[in-house]
Structure 1
Amino acid sequence: SAEDRARMVAFDLEVTPLQNLSNHTILYVVLTEDRAVDVHQRTVHHLVRELRPEVGFSVKANNSTAFVSMLPADHLRAAGVDLQGEPNGWSYTVVVFGGEAETDLESQLLWMAHGPLPSPQQTVSPSQAWTPLLLTAVAAVVAVSIIGALRQREGAIPQLQATWSPETERQVHVQLRAGSHPFKITGWTIGEPWQFKGRPPRLSLAAGEQAHAVVEVRELVQADLHLDVAIEIEDFGAWKQHLWLRPSQKPSATEANDAR
């Protein structure tokens, strides 16, 4: 389905594992351009334009999970996809990477479906849309393209780590390290009942750069601290990083005085 049948794409999916899978199992919805040509007239087939990971499904055997995976209009525009101007020449792939439960094996390709993205004039039945793709030569090329895009995206995602300050009460230290692409922080949110004291910094980092940010809270609360950091990665668009801290074990000034 699609908003205005062109600008965004939504996939109605139902996942039913045939055996217990590891918690690291991920489903990806991928949009590829069948034949892409750059400004130098170089041609690439099956170029990955947009890729969305999904983990909100059961990994238990015979448990079915139905959900909708969406490629929003703004993400498609940022990826150079114009489904209104160019409704044909696009393909979708739904692919699952993971492994059996309780194994330490590397993630592997578990399942894959691939086909042309219907244009607004086409109607595709569910049986036609989700026919599993045999590992033909075309499937192998698509799979290699997806794995390459996943590795590139993984390398671009920055690393953020939060710890309580060992010296200053009500301060959280956030260590930031950019990946292979520059990124900037566009916003911070904090889960209740915690509250910010002041406004956390909005930093911009070059590729590979490291930085340190200090986040202050109004008062200590005996509840887990959840921070969501909205970031924008060059060439990869908007992302959100979630940071989770247990309550600070450092006694407050009042508690320290009472202890005396």
Structure 2
Amino acid sequence: MKKIAILLVIAIMVIPSISAEDENYTAHARITIPSAEPVSTILYECFVEIDTSDTNCNQDLDEISLSWWTWSDQTNSDWPDDDAKSRASIYDLDLNESFDSISYSNQHSMEIDATNNSSKIVDLMPIIDLTGEVIIAEGDNEIWYIRMPIEMTPLFNLTDDTLLYIFLSQKNAVDQHGREINNLIYDMKPEVGFGIKAGNTTTVEWIISSEHLEAAGVDLEQNPYGWQLTMAFFGAIESDNSSEQLLSLHQLDLPIKSQTVDSTSFYIPTLIGVVLVIVCYALVSLSYKAERGMPKISSTWKNPTTLNVEIQSFSQRIEVKSVKVDSPWKMKNNPKSRFIEPEQIVNMELRFKNHEPTGCQIGIQLEVEELGAWTQYLMMDSSKLDE
């Protein structure tokens, strides 16, 4: 009865958002919603500590891990924390300054429970057929918001408490004090406006309104980079409703700063030749710039738990966005993002908690001015080092 009451409240809250924005709009980006992630993929929700530590959370690059921040009142941070506190109350978390980071796996406190539940439905996938797109839209009043026209068809009868959570997160979030959190959730939007009977297709357009985004501290026009949308359906198949679990998981990047496309416009054949010329010129120019702008990266062991990384820039400015290490290695320090001006050499010292007998693979996320972003991987042999 409690779950039904919660769903009714959510339904009342989301109804006004469906018609809150203009029908006439400009689409700054259109992104097709991808197929569901493999059933083995786990959605981790990490509640970080007041000092932004997440040592108890899974941040594996191959998994989908999102972070919650609940400490803006205590730290005067401009990160939103209303949704985080609401989510924490669902898990009955005691948020105090001695709080240690904790991670939930598909809404379970134990990862093994998530894995066991997923194994029960592996032969039934997909459970939900979801198609559609995410549109970064600008209305007549020059405000930006998100539209999601979709078609959804359950392939099995689902329980009444089946619910969709839409999470809007930023890959590398930085607050006004310089704190950093990976994959920080800015906004959580629950949805119940869809059919739950097998073969019953729902055609609907979900809206994350400009007012909703503003309340979450999201300005897609002024801060367009690094956003992700995660869609997670939680519920159960009616024939086996012993436990609520993750039924379908979708995640996509939001490349907002793309070509502006009006919602009513079409491709003009006469422009194809011009586009081809521009593309050819751009490829030649990019090749030349890449040759002169690519950084040089080298690394050496200082001792069994310390690695020195040297990054040399040439003609282009470089941003080192993040540094991560593959398991079982764990970093003791968390290198902050930094810029490297042209024609400079910068040394970074990576310290690890323990020496591991397996090779150490480092992933350095770089963005080179005018060339774009990518992750540079370094594999270091540690087998010959003496502890």
Q: TM-score, normalised by structure 1?
A: 0.44
TM-score of the superposed pair, with normalisation by structure 2:
0.31
